Structure 1
Amino acid sequence: MHTLVLVLNKADHLEDILNGLMEIGVKGATILDSQGMGSAIMVGDGEDSSFFGTLKSSFDREHPYNKTIFTVIESEELLHQAMNKIKKVAGDLSQPGEGLMFVLPVSHVMGLAANK
């Protein structure tokens, strides 16, 4: 089992991603409102050190908030289908400010209904 985590900077893709995941058989996901460190620094207290001033110029001001989606996926096959579906909607996430996708192994789960 795996946990697939997507930090989606362009929240307008959220509905298409969730619909795509449902189409391939992902049964559920949790969506959190989130904010990256760079965005939090940009809206900070206004006292810029030279380090934070430099950082502020490199972050995406167009998308200061994002959505973090995570889901537990049982099979390797479904995991790859989900990642491909996300890339089809959101792009390959290789450009700064697009988002971040990663996978974590899951050793134990409680609270998920068994497949019948």
Structure 2
Amino acid sequence: MRFKIILASVKPVLTDKIVDSAKDSGATGATIIPARGTGMREAKTFFGLSLEAQTDIIMFLLEEHLVEPVLAAIARVGEFSKPGTGIAFVLPVEQVVGLESQMEQFKKAAGNE
């Protein structure tokens, strides 16, 4: 069984919608990490203090066959085609531990009973 990870940087107001759409597309869960960041535009300042945009990093560990539909759902709901709305990318996963209790469920979902 091969896994990949999707990391998505999104506006916090969209996090729940994006996670729900990913689950509807086959993701079994997500890890959400509050973050802040900068983009191509300079951070706004208020009395000399920088106001950096809050963001959430959503992490999805997925079986390889689920990556395309989940990534498409994330991009659609997050409106990533519009500038400054978010970004998502996929990384390969070499090894996974801690999913032993879910392996049977993964095999059944993939039709490999």
The answer to whether TM tops 0.5 is yes
Q: How many residues align?
A: 100
Corresponding residue to 1:114 among 82, 103, 106: 103
Within-5 A mapping of 1:1-116: 1-8=3-10, 10-37=11-38, 42=44, 46=48, 64-76=53-65, 78-91=66-79, 93-112=80-99, 113-116=102-105
Contact persistence 2:5–2:61 (CA under 8 A): yes
**Unpaired stretches in structure 1, ≥5 consecutive residues:** 48-55
Aligned CA RMSD, in angstroms, stands at 2.9
The one-letter code of the counterpart of 1:6 is A
CA distance in 2, matches of 1:79, 1:71: 9
Higher relative contact order (CA 8 A, sep 6+): 1
CA distance in 1, matches of 2:58, 2:85: 14
**How much has 1:64 moved relative to structure 2?**
1.2
CA distance in 2, matches of 1:2, 1:19: 19
Structure 1 runs of 4+ aligned residues shifted over 4 Å read none
CA distance in 2, matches of 1:13, 1:88: 11
Instruction: Say which SS state the counterpart of residue 35 (structure 1) adopts.
Output: strand
**Unpaired stretches in structure 2, ≥5 consecutive residues:** 106-113
Q: What is the percentage of aligned positions where both structures have the same residue?
A: 28
Higher strand fraction: Structure 1 or Structure 2?
A: 2
> Any idea what the Cα deviations from partners look like across 1:34-76, whole Å, max 9, x if unmatched?
000459x656x938xxxxxxxx8xxxx7x81011001111123
Instruction: Say which SS state the counterpart of residue 82 (structure 1) adopts.
Output: helix
Instruction: Say which SS state the counterpart of residue 115 (structure 1) adopts.
Output: helix
Instruction: Say which SS state the counterpart of residue 56 (structure 2) adopts.
Output: strand
TM-score (norm 1): 0.71
CA distance in 1, matches of 2:104, 2:54: 35
Summarize the Cα distance change of 1:15–1:111 in structure 2 as closer, same or farther, 3 Å threshold.
Answer: same
